[in-house]
Structure 1
Amino acid sequence: MTASKAADAPLAMEPGSARLMVTLAVMLSAIMVLLDMTIANVSLPHMMGALGVTSEQVTWVLTSYSMAEAICIPLASYLSLKFGVRRLLLVSVAGFITTSALCGQADTLTEMVTFRIMQGAFGASVIPLSQSIMVQIYPKEERGKAMALFSVGVLLGPILGPTVGGLITENMDWRWIFYVNVPVGFLCLALLYFFVHLDGKGKATVDWPLVFGMAIGIGLLQMVLERGNQDDWFASNTILFATVISAIAWVFFLTRSFRTKGDIAPMWLLKDRNLALSCIVMTGFSMGMFGIVQLQPMMLEQLLNYPVEITGFMMAPRGLTSAIVLLSLSRIIDRLDPRMLIVAGLILNGIGSFLMMRYSLDIDMFWVLMPSIVQGAGMGLVFAPLSQLAYATLAPNQAVGGAVIFNLCRTLGGSFGISIVNTYFSQIQQKEWNALGGGLTPDNPLVQQYAATQGTSVTNPDFIANLTSMLQQQSTLLAFVYTFGFIMVSYFVLIPLLALFKRVKKGEPPAADKA
């Protein structure tokens, strides 16, 4: 990677009070951007009427944002060298504010998708830049504390998105889920302008073939993951074609990055064992976490008939618990073995998923909240130590590049998780519908006996409709239960990978520094 000496040198640590304000500035900015990943989920039905689109078309409001974010995240390392960390962060937040206001003004789907793409593009750099700033302003012996504080925002944002979105939509208007970013964004801009002074500029070159390969590979992969289940995967020629082109583009993109060691999307940093393993674990963990966050509101609203606002409140304890755990651990986390914390976190997430396998149609709020709290505690124990390990063996000048790759894996992991979970859920639901429905025939003595207890006959249209409704409920419930079990297994299979991490002794410089 070509960079100036100024960019290569470790940045000076901020004094205590200034560091606190920088932490507040970057955390608030990260929460604002991450909140918009999920804040629009519960508002889609309201947007359909206002924009005059179908339920299938309105999902592009979500897809366009995630695609733009995933494509632009890898550019942050290059752009920070080209324009400087501070300037890029200010421009990104200012652009995010502007495009958020434009999203609120949109009257057609074309306008909304265009502005959401721009919003995702501007917001993409905020997360890796914020995380890299936290890595650089805290001394190495406080790296765990820095990642614990930053992880509060990473976890609170997407998890509380449905809660905030539900409250705003029910009590104000769906357009305010975008307008709310304006006052919050201006506060972020002020804090960043006055307290963040990191430069990090250096000489950087544009590798256009790599940029095009990256954009095509990541963009088409996001589209495949977002639309695959809805379009019946490879039964759709569009999905099949996009998958093939995406695979070719990814091979080209990765090969060229490792060969040229350029500044854009520095995938070559994955030669670092800790960063590579952290990215694998983060991808797998994000798959489970975002899968759960996707499934639980569906179950509460569609199966248990919870109102949107109550569903949002029921999702909040997961994020709040993770924040409490992270803040409680922040003072002592640097004295603990991060690998053991991650193992404990994965086990807690697995236990929470196991408890969700015990769900029935008669569960009360306690049974909804308890697994969420257990999982929230586990999430807090995974995110911060995993981030700590990811940067443990990287040189300071590689912080932005490492953050870019780490956050790209988090974003793609979430997309993979939602896609896989939705596909698995749909297949299990259909399978259980067929299995349960196969015995519900008029000549089945048990069906006749049940009809008799209801004071009716098996040919009564009302009885048939009631039986069909019960079949739908039970097959859907079983699909949720089996999918929660699938997610539970996905957490446990990650645990053996923790033994492969290299533990850096206290005070030992990163391998890159020694080299």
Structure 2
Amino acid sequence: MSAASGTLPLGAGAVGSKPADSASVVDWIAVVAGALGALMAMLDTSITNTALPQIQGEVGASGTEGTWIGTGYLVAEVVMIPLTAWLTRLLGLRRLLLITTIAFVLFSMMCGVSNGLIEMIIGRAGQGFFGGALIPTAQVIIRTRLPQRQMAVGMSIFGVIVVLGPVIGPIIGGYLAEEVSWRWCFFINLPVGIALVTLLLLGLPDEKSKFDLLAKADWLGIAGMAIAFSCLTVVLEEGQRERWFESSMIVELSLVSLAGFIIMFIAQKTRPDPVIKLALLSNGAFASATFITLVVGAAVYGTTFVVPQFLAGIAGYNPRQAGGIMALSAIPVFVLIPVLPRIIGKFDTRLMVALGLLCFAGSCFLDIHLGPDSAGADFTWSQLLRGVGQILAAMPLNQASMAAIGRENAADGAGIYSMARNLGGSIGLALCGVFIDQRSAVHSDTIREAVTANSVLGQARLAADGLSQGVDQATAHLRAIAQLSSLVEKQALVMTYDDCFWLLAIGLIAITPVVLLLRSPKPGVVVEVGH
């Protein structure tokens, strides 16, 4: 089994025997349990996005530090995804899900009561690690408990959750932060967790643990993977603030990350069953799909970070209003989800993925002309087009990745594919945070050089502001200077956000030719939407 494929050999931790012609009530309880767990985990990848300004204020985090609230979740999830198959065989599916659900809820409570950044990051990392098992196991349940004729229904449920989870997360988070408290973005997991535990006990059979697998585990590969990815993200996150390789900390973490990748490489060569079968990346078609999903993951999480930041910092939107704008991208998903499974296989997968990438890039280009006076309405068409691009790329791309390596390697391939998407999201969040810090300073300096108190534009602005104040000349002059400085900073930030959208658009266009290396799935294959 892989972290995302849902393929699990019967007799190796599978949930029951081969499904009958029609699923029983207990089977559907199990499916609902898996779907609920996946939904809870998917929502929490982005539920803090629109509430981030409020959370940052209460935990004392700067803008760049605040990206760790999302990045910590994603990095920990990346570490867990490849381990899910092995942990299922080790503990049994029900026991694994009960442990991860309870732990996920406990770490959610920790986030909800946090008053400091360190507590929040630890809580989010714990959520990400244990939530990482909830998403792929949902596919395990669907594939082992539903007959072939009902598989499409189960996969459609899972597909809606995977695609819409990151989209509706900010909406729910924005509403809770504005109407109740941002802490309920985490407290809401308590009743959901209780319901999930109940469904798991009713729908899944108990299985015998196989602790003898502990002695055979690829501990070297696991350690290398955790070290490599975690240190790499820290370098990306802290590099700008620490002046990159001028900092001994950044140099040391880079070397440790490199050592982690070397350890992973050694495990690949020496272990007969490495935790991640990177040899699959020697397949050009699969490597292409994996690379595309990494970039798309960076773009998805990058836009879901930048748009709420713009709406809050420039347009003055509260989290609830920002969530409403983010919800626009969900509309095309609802419209296309029932249609795409019917047409994939009838059209060239490469064409569909390319169209999705270009629509996604086009949505970013629509946002590069935003100004200081832009508001939510200016994001309407870009958000709608973004939703079209994401769903057009996601569904056929997942199918193409599986078609490239064959059914016998589907489990391991899907794990690498899912990990790439999450790692891309982590990189996207980190790079956007660094880019905003760097480019805003550059734009601010450029504007200040052009508009000084002695320049024609500066004098005109100061004179206009001074006349409108209705106070003595000295006080009016000081106020006008303060207002001019504030306008400069706002304009610099707007230009920085425009740069972010431009960078994401160029990245998506740049990888579009890679779709030529993809391989279309054979007609008649059941469409799945992978995480």
Shorter chain as denominator, the TM-score bin is 0.7 to 0.9
TM-score, normalised via structure 2 length:
0.83
User: CA 1:439–1:106 in 2, change beyond 3 Å: closer, same or farther?
Assistant: closer
Name the amino acid aligned to 1:121.
F
* Equivalent residue for 2:235, pick from 216, 224, 239: 224
Quote the residue 1:330 is aligned against.
Answer: 341
Amino acid at match of 1:29: G
Structure 1's 486 and 64: CA in aligned 2 closer, same or farther, altered over 3 A? closer
1:211 aligns with 2:222: yes
Do the aligned partners of residues 128 and 298 (structure 1) sit closer, same or farther apart at CA in structure 2, a change above 3 Å counting?
Answer: same
Partner of 1:513: none
* Matching of residue 311 in structure 1 with residue 328 in structure 2: no
**Residue 386 of structure 1: CA displacement?**
1.3
* Alignment match, 1:97: 105
Inter-CA distance 14–284: structure 2 relative to 1 (3 Å threshold): farther
Amino acid at match of 1:489: I
Which residue of the other structure, out of 143, 153, 158, is the alignment partner of 2:166? 158
- 8 Å CA contact retained: 1:143, 1:334: no
User: Which of 388, 398, 404 is residue 399 of structure 2 equivalent to?
Assistant: 388
Q: How does 1:48-63 map to 2 (within 5 A)?
A: 53-55=60-62, 61-63=69-71
Deviations 1:165-191 (A, max 9, x none): 222222223332222112222333444
Indicate the residue corresponding to 1:475 in structure 2. 492
Match of 1:435 in 2: 446
Counterpart mapping for 1:289-308 below 5 A: 289-308=300-319
Match for residue 462 of structure 1 among 476, 479, 488: 479
Report the alpha carbon displacement of residue 500 of structure 1 after superposing the two structures with TM: 0.6
**Structure 1 CA distance, aligned partners of 2:147 and 2:403?**
12
Worse-matched range after superposition: 344-353 or 41-50 = 41-50
- Tell me the matched-pair count: 507
Are residues 116 and 505 of structure 1, via their aligned partners in 2, closer, same or farther at CA, if it must alter by over 3 Å?
closer
Contact kept, 8 Å, 1:147 with 1:387, in 2: the verdict is no
Cα drift, residue 102 of structure 1 = 4.3
Q: Distance in 2 between matches of 1:13 and 1:409?
A: 31
- What does the per-residue CA deviation read over 1:57-99, in whole Å, with 9 as the maximum and x for residues that have no partner? 7765545433322222221132123234444334322332343
Q: Distance in 2 between matches of 1:229 and 1:210?
A: 30
Given the alignment of the two structures, is residue 502 of structure 1 paired with residue 510 of structure 2, yes or no? no
In the TM superposition, residue 103 of structure 1 has moved relative to its aligned partner by 3.8
1:247 is matched with 258
- Does residue 345 in structure 1 map to residue 356 in structure 2? yes
Deviation at 1:15, TM superposition (A): 4.3
In structure 2, relative to structure 1, the CA distance for the partners of 1:475 and 1:141 (3 Å cut) is: farther
| 1:375 positional shift | 0.3
Q: Is 1:74–1:264's contact at 8 Å kept on the other side of the alignment?
A: yes
Residue pair 1:7, 1:397 contacting (<8 A) in 2 also? no
1:196–1:118 Cα change, 3 Å = same
In the alignment, structure 1 segments of 5+ residues that lack a partner are: 510-515
Displacement, 1:315? 1.1
2:295 is the alignment partner of 1:284: yes
Equivalent-residue separation in structure 2 for 1:193 and 1:338 (angstroms): 40
CA distance in 1 between counterparts of 2:12 and 2:326 reads 42
Q: Which runs of 5+ in 2 are unaligned?
A: 2-7, 468-472, 527-531
Shift of the 450–482 alpha-carbon distance from structure 1 to 2, 3 Å rule, reads same
Give the superposition deviation at 1:234: 2.9
CA contact (8 A) 1:104 1:179 kept: yes
Deviates more, 1:112-121 or 1:493-502: 112-121
After superposition, residues 23-422 of structure 1 pair within 5 angstroms as: 23-43=31-51, 47=55, 53-55=60-62, 61-106=69-114, 112-131=120-139, 133-134=141-142, 149-195=157-203, 204=213, 205-394=216-405, 396=407, 398-422=409-433
Q: Matches of 1:152 and 1:38 in 2, distance apart?
A: 16
Change (3 A) 1:168 1:388: same
Question: Shift of the alpha carbon at 1:212?
Answer: 1.6
In the aligned structure 1, how far is the partner of 2:119 from the partner of 2:434?
30
Change (3 A) 1:146 1:282: farther
Distance (Å, rounded) in 1 between the aligned partners of 2:383 and 2:441: 27
Q: What is the DSSP-based 3-state SS (H/G/I as helix, E as strand, rest coil) of the residue aligned with 2:338? A: helix
Letter in 2 for 1:100: S
Instruction: Report the CA distance shift for 1:397/1:91 in structure 2 as closer, same or farther (over 3 A).
Output: farther
Aligned residues of 1:141 and 1:507 also touching (Cα < 8 A): no
Aligned-pair CA distance for 1:417? 1.1
Deviates more, 1:253-262 or 1:481-490: 253-262
Structure 2 contact 20–147 (Cα < 8 Å) conserved: no
In 1, Cα distance between equivalents of 2:97 and 2:428? 29
Alignment deviations for residues 403-433 of structure 1 (CA, whole Å, 9 cap, x no partner):
3212211111011112222333333322222
Cα distance in 2 between the residues matched to 1:137 and 1:335:
28
Q: Which amino acid aligns with 1:305?
A: G
Give a deviation string over 1:286-339, Cα, whole Å, max 9, x none. Answer: 111111111111111111111222112211221343243223323443444332
Structure 2: distance between partners of 1:386 and 1:138: 24
Q: What per-residue deviation string (whole Å, max 9, x for no partner) do you get for residues 475-512 of structure 1?
A: 22222222211111111112111111123433699xxx
C-alpha contact 1:131 1:150 (8 A) present in aligned 2: yes
Change (3 A) 1:190 1:271: farther
**Rounded Cα–Cα distance in structure 1 between residues aligned with 2:360 and 2:67:** 29
The answer to whether the Cα contact below 8 Å between 1:341 and 1:381 also exists between their aligned partners in 2 is yes
Residue in structure 2 matched with residue 512 of structure 1 by the alignment: none
Using a 3 Å threshold, how does the CA distance of structure 1 residues 299 and 190 change in structure 2: closer, same or farther?
same
CA deviations 1:201-227 (Å, max 9, x no partner) are: 998521222222112112212322333
Distance 2:157 2:351 in 1: 19
**Partner secondary structure for residue 327 of structure 1:** coil
2:354·2:512 contact (CA, 8 Å) conserved in 1?
A: yes
Contact 1:234 1:240 in 2 (8 A): yes
Using a 3 Å threshold, how does the CA distance of structure 1 residues 298 and 59 change in structure 2: closer, same or farther? closer
> Alpha carbons of 1:30 and 1:207: their partners in 2 closer, same or farther (altered >3 Å)?
same
* Counterpart AA for 2:247: S
Q: State the Cα distance separating 1:255 from its structure 2 match.
A: 4.2
